[in-house]
Amino acid sequence: MAPALEEFQARIDREERIEPQDWMPEGYRRTLVRQISQHAHSEVIGMQPEGGWISQAPSLERKVILLAKVQDEGGHGLYLYGAAETLGVSRDEMIDAMHTGKAKYSSIFNYPALTWGDVGAIGWLVDSAAIVNQVPLQRCSYGPYARAMMRICKEESFHQRQGYDIMLALARGSAAQREMAQDALNRWWWPTLMMFGPPDADSIHSSQSFAWKIKRYGNDELRQKFIDQAVPQAEVLGLKIPDDDLQWDAATGHYRIGAIDWDEFQQVVSGNGPCSRQRLAHHRQVQEDGAWVREAVAAHAAKHQAGGDGLKADAHNPASAQEGGADAAV
Interaction between residue 295 and other proteins (CB under 8 A):
yes
Site for other proteins in 126-165 (CB under 8 A): none
Interaction between residue 292 and other proteins (CB under 8 A):
yes
Interaction between residue 273 and other proteins (CB under 8 A):
no
Judged by CB under 8 A, the residue of 30, 154, 256, 316 near other proteins is: 316
Judged by CB under 8 A, the residue of 1, 201, 293, 306 near other proteins is: 293
Interaction between residue 121 and other proteins (CB under 8 A):
no
Site size with other proteins, rule: CB under 8 A? 62
3-state per-residue secondary structure call for the chain = CCHHHHHHHHHHHCCCCECCCCCCCHHHHHHHHHHHHHHHHHHHHCHHHHHCCCCCCCCHHHHHHHHHHHHHHHHHHHHHHHHHHCCCCCHHHHHHHHHCCCCCCCHHHHCCCCCHHHHHHHHHHHHHHHHHHHHHHHHCCEHHHHHHHHHHHHHHHHHHHHHHHHHHHHHCCCHHHHHHHHHHHHHHHHHHHHCCCCCHHHCCCHHHHHHCCCCCCCHHHHHHHHHHHHHHHHHHHCCCCCCCCCEEECCCCEEECCCCCHHHHHHHHHHHCCCHHHHHHHHHHHHHHCHHHHHHHHHHHHHCCCCCCHHHHHCCCHHHHHHHHHHHHC
15 or 292: CB nearest other proteins:
292
59 or 252: CB nearest other proteins:
59
Interaction between residue 311 and other proteins (CB under 8 A):
yes
Interaction between residue 300 and other proteins (CB under 8 A):
yes
Site for other proteins in 68-107 (CB under 8 A): 68, 70-71, 74-75, 77-78, 81
Judged by CB under 8 A, the residue of 15, 21, 59, 251 near other proteins is: 59
236 or 286: CB nearest other proteins:
286
Interaction between residue 60 and other proteins (CB under 8 A):
yes
